[in-house]
Amino acid sequence: MSILCGKNILLGISAGIAAYKTASLVRLFIKSGATVKVVMTPSSKDFITPLTLSTLSKNPVYSSFVNEEDDNAVWNNHVDLGLWADLFIIAPATANTLSKMANGVCDNLLLATYLSAKCPVYFAPTMDLDMYKHPSTLQSFEKLKAFGNIMIPATSGELASGLVGEGRMAEPEDILTFIENDILDALALRGKKVLITAGPTHEAIDPVRFIGNHSSGKMGFEIAKASANLGAEVFLVTGPTHQKVTHSLINLIPVTSAEEMYQACHTYFNDMDIAILSAAVADFKPKEVSTEKIKKSASTLRLELEKTKDILQSLGKIKTNQYLVGFALETNNELENAKDKLKRKHLNLIVLNSLNDKGAGFKSDTNKVTFIDADDNVMAFPLKSKADVAKDLLDKIINEIHA
C-alpha cells in the first residue's frame, strides 16, 4: 500500500505540452489508493481534455469559477477545493503560472485554489531550457520554495521546441516517487525498523488438532499499520489469524507455533530499533506431538504439556539499544503484576489490558489499556478503537525514543 492511499490529491494543470502526461499521473495516483480531483487553467484544455481527466479521476474537472454549461450556474468553490486537498500538485507548472503563484495573482480557478490551499503544495515545472534558466523564473522558484512549496525539479532531455536541455517535466512515475519519499522522509519513524508479534500460536497435538487461544491478531495488525504509516519498516511475525494487510512497508512473516515465532523474532531482533510483542503466545505445548491422528478409542486422554519459550523475556535478555514493549493481560493485581513483568523481562514499556474492563480483550475492535514505562510513569486511557490504541502507543514510543 502506498503512503498516498486514502489521501485527497488535487492536481492543478497549467498550459504546457507536458499536460498530456497528466493522464498517466492521475492513473498512478488512483492506483496508489488516493482520491483525485483536477483543476485546470483554461488554456491547458488545449493540451488535454477535461473528459479524459474526469474519466480517469472519476470526478468532475474544474476550470472556471462557474460551470458555464449549467443553466443554473453553480459556483465552483475554490476555498472548498483547497481545504478538501491533503496535497496540491501543480503539474505541469508553466513559467506563467509559477510567476503568478509567486506574486499572488489570482486570475483563474487554479490560482485562487492555490492561494486558499492549506495543504503541502508541490510544483513540477515545465518549460523551454532558456525560460527555465531565466532570472525571473529562478526568482519564482526561490519565492515559492520560501513559501514552503516543494519543487519537483524538471529533468534534461529533448524539449517540445526541438532543443535539448533542462525543462522537461519529471515523468509521472518520478513525480509519484518524489511525493511518496517526501512524505515518508517527514514521518517520525522513517528509517526505523519495528518488529511486531501478533495473533495466537497453535501448538500441535497431532496432525489435525492443536492448543490455541481466541486472539484475533487485531491489536498487532493495527500497530503494524500505524507503524508503517509513520514510515517504519515493519516485520510483522504473526500466528494464524484472519487479519489482512497490504502495505509496502510491512513484511509479513507468518508462523504457526511458539517455537516458530521465537525463531523468527530472533532472526530479526538484532537489526531492529523497536520491538512490540503483542502476540498471545501459548504458554504450554504438548510434550509429544503424535504423528498420527489420535483415535478416540480410550475414554480419557492425558496430554503432558511443557512450557514454551518466553520470547519477550529472551529478547529482554539480549537487547542492546532496542526499545522493547510487552503486553500484559491480567485479571487481578493488574498494576503490580504488570510492573513486575516490566522489570522481570527488561522492558521499556508494558501495555496492560485488564480482563475486568468491558470492551477490552481478544476479539473486540476496542481496547482499554494502561501504559507503564521503565520510570514507573502510569498512563491510563479510556476505551478506544484498537487503531487509536495503536496510535497512542506509537506516540508514547516516539516521545521516549526522541527524549
Q: Which residues are catalytic?
A: 213
Our finding on whether 236 is near ligand CTP (CB under 6 A) is no
Q: Do the bridges between strand 369-373 and strand 349-354 make them parallel or antiparallel, or are there none, so unpaired?
A: antiparallel
Residue 88 engages ligand CTP in binding (rule: CB under 6 A): no
Q: How far is the CB of 280 from ligand CTP (least distance, A)?
A: 7
Chain centroid, CA 22 distance in Å: 25
| 311 contributes a contact to ligand CTP by CB under 6 A | yes
Is 253 a binding residue for ligand CTP by CB under 6 A? The answer is: no
Strands 193-198 and 274-277: parallel
Other residues' Cβ atoms within 10 Å of the Cβ of residue 352: 25
Q: How far is the CB of 192 from ligand CTP (least distance, A)?
A: 20
Among positions 327, 352, 368, 386, the unique one binding ligand CTP when judged by CB under 6 A: 327
Three cell numbers at 297?
A: 478409542
Residue 326 interacting with ligand CTP (CB under 6 A):
yes
Where does this chain touch ligand CTP (CB under 6 A) — which range of 37-45, 102-110, 325-333, 394-402? 325-333
Work out how close the CB of 209 gets to ligand CTP at its nearest, in angstroms, rounded to a whole number. 20
Residue 323: count of CB within 10 angstroms of its CB: 20
239 lies in the site for ligand CTP, by CB under 6 A: no
- d(CA 219, CA 198) in angstroms, rounded, equals 7
Residue number, 167 or 239, with CB nearest to ligand CTP: 239
Q: Tell the smallest beta-carbon distance from residue 326 to ligand CTP (Å).
A: 4
Could you tell me which of 301, 308, 225, 235 has the C-alpha nearest to residue 270? Answer: 235
Q: Which is nearer to ligand CTP, 127 or 360 (CB)?
A: 360
Q: Do 257 and 311 form a contact (C-beta atoms < 8 A)?
A: no
Neighbours of 363 (CB within 10 A): 8
Burial classification of residue 298, based on how many CB atoms lie within 10 Å of its CB (0-12 exposed, 13-18 middle, 19 or more buried) = exposed
Beta carbons within 8 Å of 304's beta carbon, 6+ residues apart: 286, 287, 288
* DSSP state at residue 150: E
- The piece of 45-53, 187-195, 246-254, 310-318 that touches ligand CTP (CB under 6 A) is 310-318
Looking at 203, 222, 310, 334, which residue binds ligand CTP (CB under 6 A)?
310
Tell me how many residues contact ligand CTP (CB under 6 A). 16
393 lines the binding site for ligand CTP (CB under 6 A):
no
Q: Which of 76, 97, 257, 308 binds ligand CTP (CB under 6 A)?
A: 308
Contact set for ligand CTP, span 262-281 (CB under 6 A): 277-279, 281
Structure-block grid coordinates of residue 125? 515545472
CB of 282 to ligand CTP, least distance (A): 7
Instruction: Specify the amino acid at residue 85.
Output: A
Choose between 17 and 311: whose C-beta lies nearer to ligand CTP: 311
The angle subtended at Cα 25 by Cα 22 and Cα 30, nearest 5°, is: 130
Distance of closest approach, residue 351 Cβ to ligand CTP, in angstroms:
8
Q: Give me the amino acid identity at 112.
A: A
Residue 258 as a binder of ligand CTP (CB under 6 A): the answer is yes
Based on the number of CB atoms within 10 Å of its own CB, is 191 exposed (0-12), middle (13-18) or buried (19 or more)? Answer: exposed
- Contact at 8 Å (CB) between 203 and 211? yes
Please, what is the minimum distance in Å from the beta carbon of residue 242 to ligand CTP?
A: 19
Q: Does 328 bind ligand CTP (CB under 6 A)?
A: yes
Contacting residues toward ligand CTP, per CB under 6 A: 197, 258, 277-279, 281, 283, 308, 310-312, 326-329, 341
